[in-house]
Structure 1
Amino acid sequence: MTISETVSLLAVLASSSLVHAHGHVNNLVINGVFYETYDSTNFPYMENPPIVVGWTVDQKDNGFVSPHAYYDPDIICHREAVPAQGHVEVTAGDVITVQWSEWPDAHHGPVLDYLANCHGPCEDVDKTTLEFFKIDGLGVVDRGNPGRYADDVLLENGYSWNVRIPENIASGNYVLRHEIIALHNAIEKYGAQNYPQCFNLKITGGGSDEPEGVLGTELYDAEDPGIYINIYANPADYEVPGPTIIEGGVTSVKQDPSSAYTTATATTRS
């Protein structure tokens, strides 16, 4: 067995053994207030689940979206995703902390964040019409075999990732699309694993910029160099998938794990 075949086998075994340990986003924290998102492992079994800011998805197994589905609506906000019926108000320039329930240390890959203007209430939006622009995206932090990637930083920060809402974008109703792409099996074509999740925001106090976006089904291709890659070969460069970060976008900053939070619920339409 060759080295590449051995690496591929180990990646497949790691993937299959950790399918239930991938996790999902539990909360958004904004200015010390924490908002519950969609709990894909519990809400499907509740008669009256709460109204939250996170989109409803068919993700009971904490699973992923395959590159086979890059041109399918499932890649937009995860499998069978439908808009959340609540939203949270944020001010342009605010930092949102995205808190995951868990994430396996055997997975490695980039963390990306996008916004899409709903041009009306996000609670009613047709996801196939959303045009996403990237506000945050980080790939390799330290080179190595496989190296230290953005999702390793997320894990080190207590399963948390901070993303700043750009001050220059226009106020309005937006979908925040947060995503980890796991590359531990990306040595095989279609081996990458996408974990996108979406949240409804009402952004206030913004500027005047209305960046052009890309349909969710046009963000990636299975042969993109940041998608189809052997991370165990210590690649000299890593190209973060998707469009470039817009002007005003920034890379995540480390969260203070000692922060104290209060709790609030999503706002519904009046």
Structure 2
Amino acid sequence: MLPQTTTTLLLTTLPLASAHGFVQYITPLPPNPSPTVHLGYDPGFRFSSPAPRVAGWYADNPDIGFVPPSSFAHPDIICHKSAVPGATHIPVRAGTNLTLQWLTWPESHVGPVMDYLAACPGGDCSVVEKTGLRFTKIAQAGLKEGVTGGTNWLHAWRVDDLIRRDNFTWTVTVPEGLKAGAYVLRHEILALHSAWEKGGAQACTYLIPDGPGRYILPTGSSRSSRNPCSFLKLW
């Protein structure tokens, strides 16, 4: 077994497509060193001066809306509109889980849920330039097991569990033995209800690991807008 590492997580979970919600809370689960509830970024913080210092990335989305298809090639697609790194971090341990608690998510906005990690150049995610991040997928969940042609399309996807079973909560596992450093965790729900257009629902999470782990992420990349999986029309 790879040695455990302690990871500091600066979390940004940002809804994009027709996604009417945002990640309110981030909770590292035991045996994490800080198994308490942490605030994500709330769009209402824009009306506070100064804004609360939280782990979630700050974004210009007061309408809790989405990044439109016309901005697919714009940096907004990375971590939401005009997003900048969060001001604080959350300590977690590699190989353990944390939960992301969404405010809400529309029932009709089904599709795959994916999680990515990117190492921050220079070892400091608080000042990272998001366009320089290269993400590696660490988890994905699409259709449920046992889905058939007769399954109600609203209930065929794992995101349905997030909505109806798990009270808008998603669980992410930090890779076992992750090498110490600074990372961004990107949480994405790709809404396919209007997939005849280029677009999707993305979210980011800022992560900084520290400890004896040796696992180095493969060099990631940016996703192409021509990915055929982004055009799986459901309606």
The TM tier, using the shorter chain, reads 0.7 to 0.9
1:111 alignment partner in structure 2: 113
1:226 alignment partner in structure 2: 229
The structure with the largest strand share of the pair is 1
Q: Distance in 2 between matches of 1:30 and 1:183?
A: 29
Amino acid at match of 2:208: K
Does the aligned pair in 2 maintain the 1:22–1:104 contact within 8 Å? yes
Q: Distance in 1 between matches of 2:76 and 2:191?
A: 17
Kindly indicate whether residue 207 of structure 2 is the aligned counterpart of residue 201 of structure 1.
yes
Q: Distance in 1 between matches of 2:119 and 2:203?
A: 16
1:12 alignment partner in structure 2: none
TM-aligned CA deviation for residue 140 of structure 1: 1.1
TM-aligned CA deviation for residue 225 of structure 1: 2.2
Amino acid at match of 2:180: S
Kindly indicate whether residue 187 of structure 2 is the aligned counterpart of residue 178 of structure 1.
yes
RMSD of aligned C-alpha atoms? 1.8
Query: Of 113, 131, 134, which residue of structure 1 is paired with 2:134?
Result: 131
SS at match of 2:230: coil
Alignment map for 1:1-270 (pairs within 5 Å): 22-31=20-29, 32-40=35-43, 42-119=44-121, 120-141=123-144, 142-143=147-148, 144-146=151-153, 147-155=155-163, 156-186=165-195, 188-190=196-198, 192-194=199-201, 196-205=202-211, 207-215=213-221, 218-221=222-225, 223-232=226-235
TM-aligned CA deviation for residue 145 of structure 1: 4.6
TM-aligned CA deviation for residue 202 of structure 1: 2.3
CA, structure 1 residues 35+68, in 2 after alignment: closer, same or farther (shift >3 Å)? same
Does the aligned pair in 2 maintain the 1:24–1:39 contact within 8 Å? yes
SS at match of 1:105: coil
Q: Distance in 2 between matches of 1:102 and 1:37?
A: 14
User: What TM-score, normalized to structure 2?
Assistant: 0.81
May I ask how many residue pairs the two structures share in their alignment? Answer: 206
Amino acid at match of 2:125: C
Structure of higher RCO (CA pairs closer than 8 Å, 6+ residues apart):
2
1:10 alignment partner in structure 2: none
Runs of 5+ consecutive residues of structure 1 not aligned to the other structure:
1-18, 233-270
- Which structure has the larger Rg over C-alpha atoms? 1
SS at match of 1:115: strand
User: What TM-score, normalized to structure 1?
Assistant: 0.71
Q: Distance in 2 between matches of 1:28 and 1:73?
A: 24
Q: Between the two proteins, what is the percent identity of the paired residues?
A: 38
SS at match of 1:161: strand
